[in-house]
Structure 1
Amino acid sequence: MKHLIIIVTLLFSGLVSAQSNYEKGMQKAFELWGSNPIEAANLFERIANAENDNWLPAYYAAQVNITSSFGEKDEQKLSAQLKKAQDLINDATAISQDNAEILVLQALLHTAWVAYDGATYGMTLSPKVVELYTKAKALAPDNPRVVYCNAEWNMGSARFFGQDVTPYCKDLEKAVELFANFKPETPFHPNWGKDRTIMILESCGK
């Protein structure tokens, strides 16, 4: 019995230590993101390799690569970043299927290509983006990122075709309300987008 207690205690200590290392690593990666996104992405990826059953590190490693790619003019660098991001999204999806957060990230990856060269990628990727947001809305209609990112995509499409963006302002208003009531499952679950939603809404229709 004594030996059993020792074994259980050691196992529990190991779990606590592993959890602590995970938390410390994630916190460090988030801190790096603002000043050194490449190092942040690498750290998220290392955490993902250690956390085989956790989709969050791969998700954030992909997100860093995607957000860094917007505005990138070098096609070779852009392609490498988005290829890496796609591999990480695939890893996250293998762990957590039918996940609205991951679907939004996939839509943003396609959007990065469209933003880079709409004439080349718009026709093929735009329907995929619409399909992803449609699926995400069906899975999580009250997820603020689903609503806000879909609205921003629709506004971008409307501007491209010279159409009025005002009809989508109400979606941004809904997203702001959803952000006010949204509570992530853990401190590391996605909780981004509120500030940008408010910023876009302030200039909505202008």
Structure 2
Amino acid sequence: MSDSLEGQEGQPEAGAEGAADWAVPVFRTINTPSGRHALRLEAAFWDGLARLAQHEGRKTTDLVRELVVLDRGVGANLSSTIRSAVVKRLLDRDAALAPLTAPLALVKLMQLAPLPSFALNRAKTLVRVNEEFVRYLRNALSKTGPVEKAQLKLDQAAETLFAEIAPGTAVECGISIRLDNHEHRTQARIVIPPALSHPILVGFISH
């Protein structure tokens, strides 16, 4: 029994000329224990099936076969069942990831690393630090006052860093930390967390 989805992938059917690529119907067939099934789904749904299968560490054909079996129990139109299942599973995945997209949630997760870390917004306001940063600053400046009043000055302009740091990369930057009349110089590795509605620079003290 073949383990591949057969058909002319990406070939628009008659009457689909001018449609967006993701809306073009694509015809494929799949072999299952119950027989051979013809599926006509828009390209976007085939992409969704491939993405879901990849996330689950399985083959797309195995996922489609599972949904074909599901359809036999539901008794609905096969293509409609698969479309609905793709949307539902993607919505469930989106809901599971939603907590990570909440303001500062990803920054908080990053700052669980056992390194002194701070976060600055575009206004260069200190929006979050971790406990390691608090201890580091108190040791470096011999201060016990509120760390929230600390002022950080980067050797590179914040706007330059926002423009030049690509996702998955980092830059080394000198910083000056000032609290009351005390000042401390050090180096930090700067990154920008992905998928935040308001970009934030996250720095990890490296010295």
TM-score, normalising length: structure 1: 0.24
More helix by share: 1
Work out which of the two has the higher radius of gyration on C-alpha atoms and give 1 or 2.
Answer: 2
Identify, as 1 or 2, the structure richer in strand.
2
